Structure 1
Amino acid sequence: MNRTPLPHPGAPAAHALTAPKRRRTGRVVLTVLAVVVALAFLVPVLWLIASTFRSSTETFANSSSMNWHMLWPAHWTLENLRSAVDNGFLRNLANSVIVAAVTVVLGIAISAMAAFALAVVDFPGRRIVFGLVVLSFLVPFEAIAIPLAHTFSDWGLTNNFPALVLPGLGNGLAIFTLRQFFLGIPPELAEAARVDGAGWPRIFLRIYLPLTRPALIGTGLVLFLFQWQAYLWPILVTTSDDKDVAPVAIAKTFAAFSSDYGRVFAETAVLAVIPAVILLGLQRYFVASVASTGSKN
């Protein structure tokens, strides 16, 4: 005769007590890992910022070992920033701001109209066009940069701002992001507007655009970062110093004055801080736009 042992009366209570402990332990471990990973990313950035405010002779003085002197200058100075300003970096920074701002404004307008057509308007070949849009951002830009630069040269689009701006317009990833967001809007809104006599332009401007602010801001961030960190394309289509954007100017500074690391670090820190501040202020919109890309077919 088989006898099934009775469970110990204290076992469920003990399990109930240990489960929260395991969850707390897991949270502590994840928190520690997150802090370690964050420090691994932050330490180089903090060292870069600290190097901006230390003299060139002290730049690598405490970099042989990990200590707090790496992240805190012994003698604070603004000479690196003054050197950057005196050598025209503000002009290059202004070029980057102009190119990025124009790309964001025009790029959002063009991408939003294309995304609206692909998401709402039923026309022949829509799936093929959407497939080409997806393919456009799967192909690395570096793979087509040189042939595209030859085309721009044949058209006379070199050494000017249109040459820097045009490749950022109609960005495939921007169109894809906005199209996915538009698909999340109930189609009944457009159908009701059509019944009331509204045309596609009015539906786009009065219904869809006001509902897609997070996606528009996220798309703007994508376009801004695309242009802000651009290096290869500006090198290919500009040769005059007065048209150089900030990344190109930094590269030329490093090549011409390889010993002036303080100035290079100062320019790099300024170039990195600006998008970081913008992204921190608008990150919730960026996350919302990214989250929407996988929600619809």
Structure 2
Amino acid sequence: MSSFRPLDDIFKFISPITWRTFIPTHVTGEAYVSLFTERGFGRTLFNSFFTAMAEMLFGLLVGSMAAFAFAFFQFRGENAMFVLVLITFMIPFEMIAIPLYSLVDQLGWMDSYTAIIVPGIENGLVIFLYRQFFMELSPSLTEAARLDGASWFRIYTKIIMPLCKPVTLSAGLLIFVHQWESFMWPLIATRSDQYKVIQVALSDFTTEFGTYWN
């Protein structure tokens, strides 16, 4: 209801509480017009949805394949490498923001979708979830498939992944929400309005002298 009020009326009827508190006396769509014309919020919504979907799809692919290797292959340094994977989602992002910025800048990715998406594709928590799920599957599934001549890629795509829909759904939501709510890294990695995401755009409504609440 407040989004249909003029900015000056936002706090006008808060006390005492009456019907005017909940129903605007002067209905206006000025805030929405400003949002999608002057502020370009349509582009902002697209950026957030596109980056969140891309990071979710690539994150699920990379995370599930890495977890598949940890669960079904044995190689030197496996445990140490898995510990490193676990450490990655325990480190606060603020600690790696500056070196990550330097790396992305050296690669020439600044102010692009690549800069927003690629650093978040590897997710240690997603790898952990998939690996734990894969470890609970019966080894006879892969053994029977290998005896029948199936390749590891075929086992991954045709046998293992169809069985892990619950963890895929959970991990997908985890990645999507994390990217949708991301603020610091998109703020650091992008400069132009062309790649601005929703959280950064919302922060622009808070100015030095006030906030555009409507």
Aligned to 2:29: 78
Q: How does 1:40-51 map to 2 (within 5 A)?
A: 50-51=1-2
Contact kept in structure 1, 2:55 and 2:117, CA below 8 Å: yes
* 1:204 counterpart = 2:156: yes
Q: 2:126 aligns with which of 174, 183, 194?
A: 174
Contact kept in structure 2, 1:168 and 1:226, CA below 8 Å: no
Structure 1 residues 114 and 65 mapped into 2: Cα distance closer, same or farther (>3 Å)? farther
- Please state how far the C-alpha of 1:102 moved relative to its aligned partner: 0.9
Query: Please, which runs of 5 or more residues in structure 1 have no aligned partner?
Result: 1-49, 263-297
Structure 1 residues 68 and 131 mapped into 2: Cα distance closer, same or farther (>3 Å)? farther
CA distance in 1 between counterparts of 2:8 and 2:118 reads: 42
Q: How does 1:24-103 map to 2 (within 5 A)?
A: 50-63=1-14, 70-87=21-38, 88-103=40-55
CA distance in 1 between counterparts of 2:96 and 2:165 reads: 32
Contact kept in structure 2, 1:92 and 1:243, CA below 8 Å: yes
**Aligned partner letter, 1:81:** Y
Q: Percent identity between the aligned chains?
A: 38
Aligned to 1:29: none
Q: How does 1:226-245 map to 2 (within 5 A)?
A: 226-245=178-197
Aligned to 1:220: 172
- Please state how far the C-alpha of 1:95 moved relative to its aligned partner: 0.8
Aligned to 2:103: 151
CA distance in 2 between counterparts of 1:58 and 1:146 reads: 43
Aligned to 1:131: 83
Structure 1 residues 84 and 130 mapped into 2: Cα distance closer, same or farther (>3 Å)? same
**Aligned partner letter, 2:7:** S
Contact kept in structure 2, 1:104 and 1:224, CA below 8 Å: yes
SS of equivalent residue, structure 2 residue 99 = helix
- How many residue pairs match? The answer is 213
- Please state how far the C-alpha of 1:152 moved relative to its aligned partner: 1.0
Question: TM-score scaled by structure 1?
Answer: 0.66
**Aligned partner letter, 1:138:** M
CA distance in 2 between counterparts of 1:249 and 1:257 reads: 17
The worse-fitting range, judged by mean Cα deviation, of 169-178 and 63-72 is: 63-72
**Cα deviations by residue, 1:178-211 (Å, 9 ceiling, x for unpaired):** 1111122111111111122222111111111000
**Aligned partner letter, 2:11:** F
Q: CA RMSD in A?
A: 2.0
Structure 1 residues 147 and 59 mapped into 2: Cα distance closer, same or farther (>3 Å)? same
The worse-fitting range, judged by mean Cα deviation, of 72-81 and 222-231 is: 72-81
Contact kept in structure 1, 2:205 and 2:211, CA below 8 Å: no
Structure 1 residues 138 and 75 mapped into 2: Cα distance closer, same or farther (>3 Å)? same
**Cα deviations by residue, 1:102-158 (Å, 9 ceiling, x for unpaired):** 111111111110011111222222211111111000111122112211111122110
Q: 2:140 aligns with which of 184, 188, 197?
A: 188
Contact kept in structure 2, 1:134 and 1:176, CA below 8 Å: yes
**Aligned partner letter, 1:124:** R
- Please state how far the C-alpha of 1:260 moved relative to its aligned partner: 2.6
Aligned to 1:165: 117
Structure with more contact order per residue of length (Cα contacts < 8 Å, sep ≥ 6): 2
The answer to which structure has the higher helix fraction is 1
Question: TM-score scaled by structure 2?
Answer: 0.90
